[in-house]
Structure 1
C-alpha cells in the first residue's frame, strides 16, 4: 500500500479544515497503521516555535515481517509552498518515503528515541519563514502499527527578549478574542434596546418576543464565553474549562435560533401547542438535527485530524446542518403555498394574503442568511490567506448580527402588524367559536 492516496486525501482535507488554534494539545495514537497522519495545521508570521514530545512509543508488525526501520517512522513539518513538490515526488515513485524528501522540515525519527521501556523524545524547532505549515507523522513501513502519546506545543514568540511572550493563537486567529468581545458588546446593547422596546409595548408583546429576548441573551453569553475561551488559549495554551461553557451556550443558542425561525416562519406567534401539530413535528425534526450537528461540532473542535473518525464527524456535521436548513426552507415554502391556497377557499382571502408579503420577505432573509453562513463563509475561509483567517469569523458574525437585526425589526411588537394582526383575529375567532360550542353543550 503506497503513501500517495493517503497523502492526497490529507491534502484535500486541509482545504476543508480551518487553521488550528494551536493550543497545547496532548494526543494519543493507538495501534494506528496509517502511512501519514496530520497532527496540526498552523500559520507562522514571524518567529514560531514547534515543540513535540513523544512517550510510551510502541511499534508492532506481523511476525513474518522484518524488524521495522526506525528511520522510516518520524515527524515532519511541511510548508504550503513545498506541498506540490512532495506530491510530485510521490507520483514519480510510489514507494518513496516522505521523510526522505528534501522539501520537508525534518523533525525527528524513531532513531532518536530513548531505549525501551521509556521510549520517549522531546525536540523543539524554530520556524522563521512566514507560511502556512502542517505537522505530520509519517509511517513508511507497510503493515506496521504505532502507538504513542504525543504532546504538541506551537506558539509565536512575540518578543524574543521577553520571558512571557508566547502567543498560542497563531496567524489568522490571534484577533479572535477581541473580535468576539466587540460582537458580544453589540449583542448586549441590542438586548438592552430590545428589552426596553418590548417593555414599553408589553400590552401587545407576544410570547414569541419573550423567546426572542432569551435568544439575544444566550447569544451574548455565547460570544462572551468565546472571547474568554480564546483569550486563555492565546495566553496559556489551554482553555481552563471555558471551552465546555462555550459549547453549552453555543448549543443552546443554535437550537433557540432555529426554533425561533421555525415558529415565526410557520406563523406560530402564540406558541399554541394544541392548534399547530405540524410545528411540533417540525421541531421534533429540526431540534434533534441541531443536537447532532452540535455534538459533531464539539468532537471536531476538541479532537483534530489525527483521529481516524474525524472526517466522518465532519461529514455528519455537514449532513445534519444542511438537512436542517433544507427542512426549514421547505417548511416555510410549504406554509406560503398553503396560505395562498386556503385564502381562496376559507373566505379570508384579504386577511390571509396580507401575510404573504411578510412571509416572502422573511423567507428571502432566511435563505440569504443560510446561504452566506454555510457557503460564502466557507469559501472565504478556504480562499483567504492564512494571515486573514479571522475574516471568515468576522463575516459570519456580521451576517448573523444583520440577520438578527432584520428579523427582530420585522417582527417587533407593534399596534398594527401585518403578521400579528391576522393572528390576533384568528385567535379571537377561534375563542369565539369555542365559547359558542361550550354554550350549546351547556344548553
Structure 2
C-alpha cells in the first residue's frame, strides 16, 4: 500500500506562511532522508518565470525485504497557492493518494527521468506560464525508502530586457524600500547627534544608548538593501547575509534594552521610584532571550524547511520573542502601578503621564509588528508582499520618532524636578525601606 504523505504535507501547508531562505539559488544535500514530502523553496512568479532543478549523486535505498522501489513514485513537483486547497481536498477524499497523482500539481520530473547509474543525474529548466506563488516539493511515495542526493534549485523571473530577476514578484521592490528607510534613519541620527551636542550639560547615558540604536538601525537597513539587491541580481547574498544578521541582531538587542531602561525609569526617575534589582533581572532575561531568538532567526534564514530541525528553530524563535514581549509589557505595567502607589504624595505622580503614554506606545508597536504585519503577509496577494515590509518599517520609524521625542535631551525638571541631593537621599531611603529581592 502506498504510504500517505498527508501528515507531513499538512505541516508544510502551515509553513507556507513562513519566510524561507534569503537566496533564490540554493544548493542542498540530502543524506538518507525518508521524509514523504520535502518543501525546498517558495517563490512568486510573474508571467515570465522559470525554475531550474538539478539533481546529482542520486541514490535510493530500501530494506532488504522490500521490493525494488518504483522510480516513478519519487519526484519533484510545483504546487501553486491557488490550487493548494484543491490538493488538500483530494487528500481528504483519499488518505492514501500519492501527491504525485494529484490533478492539481505541476509535475517536473521523477527518478525515472534520471540518467543511468552511476551518474544518476538530471538538469532541466521549466517555464512557469501561469503567474502565482509556487512551492517546490520533493515527494517520496515509496514506504521505508531513503533518498540521498545533491539538489540545486534556481528560480527567477525575466525582466522586459530579458535579464534574470531572482527576487520574487512581491519582493523586487525591497532593495529600494530599505535604502530609502536607511536614509531616513541616517537623517534621524544626524538630528539626534546635533540635539545632543547642543544640550551637552543635560545629556544622559540613555541618550547615548539611543544614538547607538539609531546607528545600528541605519546599518541594519543598509545591509538589508545590499542583501536584497545582490539576491535580486545574482540569486545569492555574496556575504551580505553575514553583515545583515550581525546588525539586525545588534539592533533588536539594543531596542529591547532601551525600551526596558526607559520603561523602568532609568536616568529619569528618583531611585525611590525604581526597582533596580528587578530591572537588572529583567535585562538578564530579555537580552539572552533576544540573543537566542536572533540565533534561531539566522538558522531559519540560512537553512530551510528541508532541514530536520527547521520547525524546532521556528518554534524557538517565536517562543523567545513572545516571552520577551510579554516580559516587557508585564514589567512596565507592574512598575507603573508600584510607582503610582509609592509616589501618590509627591509631584512625580503628575509626571508619570509621560511614561503611561510610552507604555501604550510600546504595546501598540509590539502588537502591530508581531500580529498586524503577519496578518498583512497572510491576506495580501503575493505580488504585494513588499507592502507588509513597508508597513513594518513605517510603524518602526513612527515608534522611534515618538520615543525619541518623548525622551529627548531636555531640562531634568521637565521629567521629575529632582536634584542630585534628592536622588541620593531617595536611594538611601530605598535601601532602608525595601527588603532585598
Tell me whether the two structures share a fold, i.e. TM-score over 0.5. yes
Show CA shifts across 1:143-183 (max 9, x none): 11111111100011113x64xx1100111111110000000
Which structure 1 segments of 5+ residues have no match?
434-443
Q: Post-superposition shift, 1:430?
A: 5.2
Structure 2 residue aligned with 1:371 = 367
2:229 corresponds to 1:239: no
**Relative to 1, partners in 2 of residues 1:272 and 1:430: Cα closer, same or farther, differing over 3 Å?**
closer
Contact 1:20 1:42 (8 Å CA) reproduced: no
CA-CA distance at 1:276 after TM superposition? 2.2
Do 1:73 and 1:138's aligned partners in 2 also have CA atoms closer than 8 Å?
A: yes
State the 1:308 CA deviation: 2.1
Is 2:5 aligned against 1:3? yes
Once the two structures are superposed, what CA deviation does each residue of 1:268-299 show, in whole Å capped at 9, x if it has no partner? Answer: 11799998222221110000000011011111
Q: Secondary structure at the match of 1:133?
A: strand
Query: 1:358, CA displacement in angstroms?
Result: 1.3
Classify 1:123/1:420 alpha carbon distance in 2 versus 1 (closer, same or farther; 3 Å): farther
**CA 1:424–1:144 in structure 2 vs 1: closer, same or farther (change >3 Å)?**
farther
SS state at 1:42 partner: strand
The answer to whether 1:210 aligns with 2:208 is yes
Contact 2:20 2:300 in 1 (8 A): no
Which position in structure 2 is the counterpart of 1:168? 166
In structure 2, distance between residues paired with 1:271 and 1:61: 69
- TM-score by structure 1 length? 0.91
Q: 1:257 corresponds to which residue?
A: 255
Q: Distance in 2 between the 1:197 and 1:351 partners?
A: 28
Aligned to 1:45: 46
| Distance in structure 1 (CA, Å) of the matches to 2:81 and 2:284 | 44
Tell me what 1:355 maps to. Answer: 351
Q: 1:157 maps to which residue? A: 158
Match of 2:435 in 1: none
> Which residue of 2 is the match for residue 419 of structure 1?
415
- Secondary structure of 2:409's counterpart equals coil
1:270–1:414 CA distance, 2 compared to 1 (3 A): closer
- Paired position in structure 2 for 1:198: 196
Aligned match of 1:178:
176
Contact 1:187 1:220 in 2 (8 A): yes
* 1:406 paired residue number: 402
Could you tell me which runs of 5 or more consecutive residues in structure 2 were left unpaired when the two chains were aligned. 430-437
Are 1:22 and 1:154, in contact at CA under 8 Å, matched by a contact in 2?
Answer: no
Aligned pairs for 1:73-152 within 5 A:
73-152=74-153
Output the CA distance in 1 between the equivalents of 2:169 and 2:309.
Answer: 27
Structure 1 contact 352–422 (Cα < 8 Å) conserved? no
Using a 3 Å threshold, how does the CA distance of structure 1 residues 201 and 391 change in structure 2: closer, same or farther? same
Q: How many angstroms does 1:7 deviate by?
A: 1.6
Cα deviation for residue 46 of structure 1 reads: 1.6
1:118 deviation in Å? 2.3
Deviation larger for 172-181 or 76-85: 76-85
Contact 1:358 1:418 in 2 (8 A): no
Give the equivalent residue in structure 2 for 1:304: 304
Equivalent-residue separation in structure 2 for 1:262 and 1:173 (angstroms) = 33
Mapped partners of 1:338, 1:398: distance in 2? 34
Per the alignment, residue 342 of structure 2 pairs with: 342
Q: Does the aligned pair in 2 maintain the 1:18–1:381 contact within 8 Å?
A: no
CA contact (8 A) 1:113 1:119 kept: yes
8 Å CA contact 1:114–1:121 kept in 2: the answer is yes
Report the CA distance between 1:254 and its aligned residue. Answer: 0.4
Deviations 1:38-61 (A, max 9, x none): 111111122111001111212111
Question: Secondary structure of 2:38's match?
Answer: strand
Do the aligned partners of 2:78 and 2:136 also contact (CA within 8 Å) in 1?
Answer: yes
* Pair 421,152 (structure 1): closer, same or farther in 2 beyond 3 Å: farther
* Within-5 A mapping of 1:8-19: 8-14=10-16, 16-18=17-19
Aligned length: 426
TM-score by length of 2: 0.93
Name which of 224, 227, 236 aligns with 2:225.
Answer: 227
Cα distance in 1 between the residues matched to 2:225 and 2:145: 43
Q: Say what the alpha-carbon RMSD is for the aligned residues.
A: 2.2
Shift of 1:30: 1.9
Partner of 1:216: helix, strand, or coil? helix
Q: What SS does the corresponding residue of 2:335 show, helix, strand or coil?
A: helix
From the superposition, tell whether residues 236 and 312 of structure 1 become closer, same or farther in structure 2 (CA, over 3 Å). same
